[in-house]
Structure formats: C-alpha cells, structure tokens
Structure 1
C-alpha cells in the first residue's frame, strides 16, 4: 500500500477498474476502406442505421440526466475459464461540462467527479483521491482527454460522443433490425451490429430513442467474453450542483495523478478495494 505522499506511477484506469465498458463500440477507428466496401446494402440495414441516428439525436438533446446501469463483465482467466463480475454504474450529468460517475461492486468503489474545471478521482474505501486542475473541457472532450492522457476509460462514455464525428457509422460493417418487444414494461426495438473485433446489440426505447440495454461481444479473444448492461434513465429530475462538488474528509489523503506517457513504475498497491 502506498503512503499518502506516493505519486501514482500507474494509469488511472486502476482507480476506475472494474465493471464497465465503452457504450457503443463504433467510436473505435473506422475499418480500412477496402473492408468497409465489402458491406452490402443488405448487411447494413438502413433502418438499423437510422435508429442509431435517432439515438444519437436523443442523447445530444439531454441537457441533464441521471443514469443507473446494472453491468456484468466476463473476465477470461489464463486457462480459458470465464469469470463474471457484476457491478452498478451511476452517472449524474449536466451539460456541457459537469459529471459525476460511480462504479460500485462488492470488490471496489470508485468515483469520478468533474465540475467543468477540476477532475477528481476518488477511492472512498482506500481513502485516496487525485485531482487535475484547469481541465476546461466539454464532456465529449473530457472522455478523450481522460483516456488519452491518464488512461481513464469511463464506462458507457460513448453516450457523450454518439451522434458526432467521434462515433463514425463507417466503422459498422453490418447492421440488423432484430425486431420489437418490451423491456421493463417499455416498448423497444432491438438492433444488432458488427464491426472489426466486436459484435454488439442495443435495445432502444420506442418512446425516447434512448438505449435501454446493451450487449457487447468481444471477438478479439477466442473465448469471446461479453459485457452486458441494463440502463435506467431519469431525464426529468434536476441534478443538484452538489453532485459535482468534492470536499475530502480529514482522513482522506491526496495522491498525484501521473500522465500515461510518464508513468514508469507500478507501486505496490491493491486496486481491488
């Protein structure tokens, strides 16, 4: 366990490690033109692609929301056995630049708070926090900066990118409208998509065009581990300003967050608490 004066030499993804995944894999780099050209009109169902456009527009239109996601991630051990890890992801958001994120499971508790200027990563059980001042980014910019500079991969983060040029539909090689149904008593339409290294499905509310369920199947691993999430939205109740404020208790120690490119030494720390 590092002392309070320890400088973190490993990336911040350890602070936020756990149950979580990128929401919509299309934000990955687009496939090569030759690969994209092999998709026929039948493979890329216009109805399914149009549903993604509507979903992006609905996400962009939200000026504030709260989101709770019951998430499950499969981890593949060295012998090929799959282990399922469950957790809850909670977001509280006020556009353009305020965010609260919590990842909670039996094994760990992590929080990320952004007030439009200061980014805070907090581990309540370990009683450590790290802060970066003068970030000055919109939420879409924050997602990219946090990942590229500090290795912070926020779960479901593509909901801040979908509908922009950061989530190009050209990455999608196959798109299918599976059909309609109900989920949590709400009418939905189910869609399935294929792209390099991943298959994924999304269940979209017919009433709001917001995603209600997500399944991501990784094809890069022969075991094909899955990520699954059920999303519960609250777009009506206002999010209080206090959600984006962080004041450490007296027994909470501050540590330094080191950018990925200068991180060289992994300290003897236990990231599982």
Structure 2
C-alpha cells in the first residue's frame, strides 16, 4: 500500500466531486466469456452528460446493443433505440442516490459508475488491499500517471492526468474471482465546462415508441442462483 498511490486516488476523487457540468466520452471494450470458457471482446462507446447533483444522460453503443438512460432528478427512463421500447419510474433526487437505488431495485449498474463514487464514502480507500504507482504514461495526448489497485474480486488500473486537473483518462478493470479474468477497459475524453440544457436530461418518447414496465429484481436471489 504505497501512500502516494492512495493519495493520488483520493485527490482525483475530490476533484471529480467539484465538477458541476461535464461530458465524458469513453471508447471502451468489454470481455464476455462463453460457456466453454472462450473470451470474446466487444468494442463500444459510452457518452455521459452530467449536471450535478441531479441531471444525467447516458448513451451506450456497441454492435450488439444500444441503450439510453435519462435522469432529471425526478424520473429515470431507460430507452432502447433499436426496438423503440422505454420504461420510466420515479427516481431519487440525486445521482448518488440513483446509482444505489437502481442497482438494488432493478439490478442496473451503470458503466463507469466509479466516476460518481470516487471521493464519497461509497468508495473508501479502506477497501483497497494494494495500491501501487506504476509510472508516467501518455494517454490521448495527455500526460498521466498510471496506478494499479487491488480489492476483493477486482484488480484495476487508472491513468490520472498530471497537473491541476487530476482526471481519470483511462480505466482497466479485471475481474479476478472469475477464472477467465475478463476485463473492461475505457479511454476517456472530458469536457469539464459543458453547457447543458434541461432538455438533455428529459426523455421525449418518439411517436412510435412503446412504454413497458421496469421490473424489480431480487438481486440477492439472482446472485445465489448464478453459477
């Protein structure tokens, strides 16, 4: 546990919590492990528009799936552009509360959710079992410092921009409690002074869209049933 690595993570978290209006684009890859153990990689993109504390729009695109999530501080809407189906439900008043509620109630975990958890008591450094400074690196033209961390079930790396804006520029997460060790990786591009309007966070259903119900799940039972 190198103190400078823990300090860098905490500094990044504090800075992220100061951001009020921002967008972040992620060029991502995710590993999917087949039943016979073969690991497949799927590329995709993630785009967030965020207005703290109660505005969020997420657009996820891969060759296999597209999803949009709208949140305006009162209502959460999940929309599938390909099949024109959407579901809406009442939502808590903050992004932080939203993340916990939709995970517990609907089993929905947003990609790169750590961007909203670092610097809060939901991402304590006490959960780390290892923290190491790897060295300097350049990501997308930005000078960064690479760090490697470990905690139960996960190894992860983050490349933090050097200087006064310690933004995470790349994130790699390896699931260690799966024998195949699947990875998720994303390289991030930020705009920390985005001009965002209310309409960005409000879902307006297309004329041919059909509303469905967002079904609650028993997360604990699902975890017990999984192999």
Could you state the TM-score of these two structures normalised by the residue count of structure 1?
Answer: 0.78
1:90 aligns with 2:33: no
RMSD: 1.4
Question: How many Å separate the matches in 2 of 1:181 and 1:70?
Answer: 18
| Bigger shift: residues 219-228 or 48-57 | 219-228
SS at match of 2:118: coil
Q: Secondary structure at the match of 2:17?
A: helix
Give ranges in structure 2 of 5+ residues lacking alignment.
Answer: 222-227
Q: Aligned ranges for residues 69-88 of structure 1 at < 5 Å?
A: 69-88=26-45
What is the rounded CA distance, in whole Å, between the counterparts of 1:75 and 1:146 in structure 2?
23
How big is the shift at 1:131? 0.4
Which residue in 2 is equivalent to 1:9?
A: none
Tell me what 1:229 maps to.
Answer: 186
- Mean Cα displacement is larger for which, 157-166 or 110-119? 157-166
Deviations 1:146-189 (A, max 9, x none): 10011111001121111111111111001100011221111100
- Alignment-derived partner of residue 249 in structure 1: 206
Per-residue CA distance 1:87-125 (angstroms, 9 max, x = gap): 101100001101000111111110000011011010111
**What does residue 68 of structure 1 align with?**
25
The structural deviation recorded for 1:136 is 3.2
Match of 2:225 in 1: none
Following superposition, which runs of at least 4 residues in structure 1 exceed 4 angstroms of deviation? Answer: none
What is the alpha-carbon distance in structure 1 between the residues aligned to residue 212 and residue 180 of structure 2?
37
Is the partner of 2:101 in helix, strand or coil? helix
Could you tell me which residue of structure 2 aligns to residue 143 of structure 1?
A: 99
Higher strand share: 2
Matches within 5 A, 1:45-124: 45-124=2-81
Residue 237 of structure 1: CA displacement?
A: 2.4
Take 2:102 and 2:193, find their aligned partners in 1: how far apart are those partners? Answer: 28
Q: Name the SS of the counterpart of 1:73 in structure 2.
A: strand
| Whole-angstrom CA distance in 2 between matches of 1:132 and 1:54 | 35
How many angstroms apart in 1 are the aligned matches of 2:143 and 2:109?
31
CA distance in 2: counterparts of 1:78 and 1:136, whole angstroms: 37
Q: CA deviation at 1:195?
A: 1.3
- Select the structure of larger CA radius of gyration: 1
- Residue number in structure 1 paired with 2:148: 192
Q: Distance in 1 between matches of 2:215 and 2:142?
A: 44
Separation in structure 1 between the aligned mates of residue 194 and residue 48 of structure 2, nearest angstrom: 13
* Whole-angstrom distance in 1 between the partners of 2:218 and 2:135: 46
Corresponding residue to 2:111 among 130, 155, 177: 155
**Distance (whole Å) between structure 2 residues aligned to residue 132 and residue 98 of structure 1:** 15
Query: Map of 1:13-32 to 2, 5 A cutoff?
Result: none
